[in-house]
Amino acid sequence: MKSASDPRVAIVGAGLGGLACARVLQLHGRSVTVFEHEASTGARLQGGTLDMHAGTGQVALRAAGLLDRFRALARPEGQEWRLLDPATATVVSHEEPGDADDDRPEIDRGQLRGLLLESLTAGTVRWDRTVSGVDLLGDGKRRLIFSDGTTDDFDLIVGADGAWSRVRPALSDATPGYTGVTFVDIGFDDCDTRHAALSRLVGDGTMMAKAGGKGLFAQRNSNSHIRAYIAFRAPENWHVTAGLDLGDTAAVRKHLLTVYEGWDESLLHLLRYNDGEFVNRPLFALPVPHTWEHIPGVTLLGDAAHLMPPLGLGANLAMLDGADLAHALVTEPGLDDAVRAYESVMLPRSAEAAKGCAEGLDHLIPPADS
């Protein structure tokens, strides 16, 4: 085991929160290893665009010494926001950022993750290392158990492994529950040329139309790409009830066009002409509040700690969690003092945010009886 001044720390999960924690630790000369089940940095697409908030995500980036590099990649114009009438596609509300407005600039998730990965010491992330669980050993050690049967012991294990965390059961028996809302993810490549009308409708930022417990949301990404979400309330197995094979793109398209019948044709372009498949993403959330009794040597951050609906807070809070935990580890007198200090701030903060996101989802896609 490492010395008390440089404890052996394992972070499970190479998402934004885990990488932010690792970066801040390394800036302060601390040792850390990140274990990630994906085979490599390019193993899968990293999702759409994120707005980095001045009071959360940008605070973490500043702590990581990456704020200027972030700003060089970010898109302040992406803060533009439009609400459209579903029946006519006319603009109901329109917000445009000012010239000096950088409160919530947008950046592609993949670009942000790449920025964090590039900032780490070579070999920090151990790719293709799937964690299956954690053992709390009687001598105070914490043991990571890998899916290949190997193990490794640490002074601190940080679960940054998302919604279905394998670290969380060491602290909590809570599991995510379905929110009643599903997002179906679609994309449009070369949108300024191939989907020019849609590109104008979306603008530089986010376009939204909603009514009757369903919505269509589209966001400008970099490289002339638009990512959109078809959002509706339905049972988690809605496609089974509808007799759909999600791999049958034509059948899914036909069904969704029926669900959105009566919406303006310019909005239905999202359903008719997307590039690639429809990706089903039922939304899950942890109970609110999600708390646990402190156990030395194990803690959680990001979605592993406070999974909530994706309304612009999750990535920001995960990065702030990571930076706060790292800061505590380098400033508090002992390892357990640090984890307690971090949890005393993170848990109430995340409970408040999760409550707000749950209410926000109900406002965005209202339940049928509301």
Reading the chain (370 residues) residue by residue, the pLDDT tens digits are: 445 578 999 999 999 999 999 999 999 999 999 999 998 877 666 678 999 999 999 999 999 999 999 999 999 999 999 999 999 999 999 999 877 778 899 999 999 999 999 999 999 999 999 999 999 998 778 999 999 999 999 999 999 999 999 999 999 999 999 999 999 999 999 999 999 999 999 999 999 999 999 999 999 999 999 999 999 999 999 999 999 999 999 999 999 999 999 999 999 999 999 999 999 999 999 999 999 999 999 999 999 999 999 998 999 999 999 999 999 999 999 999 999 999 999 999 999 999 999 999 999 998 866 5
Q: Is the peptide bond before 296 cis (omega within 30 degrees of 0)?
A: no
Segment holding 132, helix H or strand E: strand 131-136
83 alpha-carbon distance from chain centroid: 23
Residue 336 has phi, psi (to 5 degrees) of: -70, -35
pLDDT > 90: percent of the chain: 90
Q: What pLDDT is recorded for position 46? A: 62
Q: What pLDDT is recorded for position 140? A: 78
The reported pTM is 0.94
81-84 and 49-51 beta bridge pairing: unpaired
**DSSP one-letter string for 212-229:** TTEEEEEEE-STT-EEEE
Q: What pLDDT is recorded for position 40? A: 82
Q: Where in the chain is the domain with CATH 3.30.9.30?
A: 178-283
Angle between helices 109-119 and 16-27 (to 10 degrees): 30
Q: What is the CATH number of domain 178-283?
A: 3.30.9.30
Q: What pLDDT is recorded for position 1? A: 40
Segment holding 360, helix H or strand E: helix 335-364
Q: Where in the chain is the domain with CATH 3.50.50.60?
A: 9-77+103-175+287-364
Q: How many helices and strands, by DSSP H and E, does the chain display?
A: 12, 17
Q: What is the CATH number of domain 9-77+103-175+287-364?
A: 3.50.50.60
What's the pLDDT tens digit per position in 117-159?
A: 999 999 999 999 999 999 999 877 899 999 999 999 999 999 9
